[in-house]
Amino acid sequence: MISNWRRGIMEFILLSDPDKCTGCRICESGCSLIKEKIANPSFSRVKVVKFEEKGIDFPVLCFHCEDPPCMNVCPVGAVVREGKAVIINDERCIGCKLCVIACPFGSISVRGNRPIKCDLCGGDPFCATICPTHAIFFGEEFKSGSEKRIELVKRFLSGERVV
């Protein structure tokens, strides 16, 4: 699986697209089931933030930062990089939860007394696999941009000017 993380010089990234998200939270339920063996969105690594009144559904993921505050703040070096993923080494983790505080996106949750975070499922993120509208996708950085550019030109051609 790890070899999937790059193709040529293009790296794979996990991204979300709020325009496509329907707010169904299949990602949350699936993540908790596959990782924690229980159907419980509270233990999900991905959380859909909803502003129902405005029709906004935004899947907030771990972005596996280039310069991860969670890794920088960990006093025992338990947050490590494995390929593209920033993961927590459970054996080293002392459960201080400084990483939870440091994360600027609220992407690290807690179960019991331990921090839990996305590990990209070893290179094949389940949330991206099951998302019915591809609002969460795992792919080449290059491609994620090109899809949007093509969509933009299509809308331009159809007469709907993008502001």
Partner 1 sequence: MNIYGWSGRIVKVDLSSGNVKVYPTPEDIRLNFLGGRGGNSKLLYDLTDENTHPFSEENPFIVGTGPLGGTFAPSSGRWTVTSKSPINGMLCDGNSGGHFGPELRFAGYDHLIVTGKAKTPCYISIRDDDIEIRNANHIWGQNVWETDRILREETDIEAQTLVIGPAGENLVKTACVLSNLSRAAGKCGMGAVMGSKNLKGVVVRGTKGVSLYDPDKFLEEALATRDDILTDPMARSLSTYGTPALLMIANEQGWLNTYNSQRGDFEFAENLSAETLLDKYITKSKGCYMCYIHCSHFYVVKDGKYKTYGEGPEYEQTGGFGSGCGISDPEAVLYLNTMLNKLGLDVITTSRTVSWALEAYEKGIIDKKTVGFELKWGDSDSIIRLVDMIAHREGFGDILAEGAYEAAKKLGGEEFVIHTKGLLHCASDPRGKKAYGLGYAVASRGGDHLRALPTAEYAFPPERAKEMFGTEKASDRFAVEGKAKLVIWSEHVAALADSLGICEFMTNLIYGFSVEHMARLLTFATGVRFTEKDLMVIGERIINLERMYLVKHGVTRKDDTLPKRFTHEPNPSKGALNQVVELEVMLDEYYRLRGWSENGIPHKEKLKELGLVS
Q: Of 40 and 144, which has the nearer Cβ to partner 1?
A: 40
Q: Of 6 and 20, which has the nearer Cβ to partner 1?
A: 20
Residue 58 token pair: 């935004």
CB of 103 to partner 1, least distance (A): 17
CB of 129 to partner 1, least distance (A): 10
Q: Of 6 and 50, which has the nearer Cβ to partner 1?
A: 50
CB of 137 to partner 1, least distance (A): 16
Q: Of 24 and 73, which has the nearer Cβ to partner 1?
A: 24
Structural contact between residues 16 and 59, judged by C-beta atoms closer than 8 angstroms: yes
Residue written as token pair 């990602």: 27
CB of 71 to partner 1, least distance (A): 27
Which residues sit at the interface with partner 1, rule CB under 8 A?
19-20, 22-26, 29-30, 32-34, 37-43, 52-55, 57, 130, 132-133
Residue 22 token pair: 């329907």
Q: Within the chain, what is the greatest distance between any pair of CA atoms? A: 57
Helices (H), 40-84: 69-73
Three-class SS state of 52: helix
What are φ and ψ of residue 97, in 5° steps?
A: 65, 20
